[in-house]
A = this chain, B = another copy of it.
Amino acid sequence: MEKILYCKPGEIEGKSFEIIGEELQKRGIVIPKEQEAVTKRVIHTTADFDYAETLVFSEHAVEKARQLILEGADIVTDTNMALAGINKKVLARFGGKAHCFMADETVASLAKERNVTRAAVSMEFAAKLHKPVIFAVGNAPTALLRLYDYIQDGTFLPAFVIGVPVGFVNVEAAKERILETSVPHIVNRGRKGGSNVAAAICNALLYELGR
């Protein structure tokens, strides 16, 4: 049977990142330095090396996102799981807050009334925060589509979009819409993504600042 390595608590993460680095090298994949922390943390969270080939970063995306965090930007996500996973302590150190409006009762009733998704309505709530917002979409393509409409009609401009919903219907198309825009972004092309991926990207951005 495979042996268990004895590790002190806290050592496992370092060893894991070493292994990820080695395997990327074996596969001949070179991640640009600026993107390394994000891509490796997503692989760490999923054990899925596909992400090394599908994550798309707009120019200087990581630098821009970190600058926004340093300036106190909030993070709005479309899933309570991602909200649970985001390191809110580090974010708070710079004056930022993480939000998820999905469980808000007003969001639910407005969505029902208008026959749209709660995710779409929750983006509208986020637009009213009146401060720079990093969107971390891990679930609902309709959240990305609502943001795309905002960007197109110019009524609200997200400061940054992490577009990593997962799924089989409208997910790929919604991500492509965001890739077209000039809003700084990190998007995972294709079907894959999820709340865990959204949280991992946020944390990769945060941890470097929190050290």
Can you name the residue of chain B whose Cβ is closest to the Cβ of A10?
A: B117
Rounded to whole angstroms, the CA-CA distance of A181 and B174 in the bound complex is 44
Whole-angstrom CA separation of A3 from B141 in the bound complex:
13
| Complex: chain B residue closest to A173, CB-CB | B2
A129 within 8 A of B: no
**Cβ of A12: which chain B residues have Cβ within 8 Å of it?**
167, 169-170
Oligomer copy total: 2
Q: How many residues of A contact B (CB 8 A)?
A: 51
For A120, give the chain B residue with the smallest CB separation: B9
A81 at the interface (CB under 8 A from B): yes
Chain B CB within 10 Å, residue with most, of A1, A84, A191: A84
Q: Say whether A194 contacts B196, CB under 8 Å.
A: yes
Residue from A145, A167, A191 having most chain B Cβ neighbours under 10 A: A167
14 contacts between A and B (CB under 8 A): A2-B176, A4-B173, A5-B169, A8-B115, A9-B111, A9-B115, A9-B116, A12-B170, A44-B167, A46-B46, A47-B167, A81-B195, A195-B196, A196-B196
Binding site for B on A (CB under 8 A): 1-5, 7-9, 12, 15-16, 19-20, 44-48, 79-85, 111, 115-118, 142, 145, 166-174, 176-177, 190-196, 199
- A1-B176, A81-B195 known; 16 new pairs, CB 8 Å cut-off, are A1-B173, A2-B172, A4-B174, A7-B170, A9-B116, A12-B167, A15-B168, A15-B169, A16-B167, A46-B194, A47-B166, A47-B168, A80-B84, A81-B81, A81-B196, A194-B196
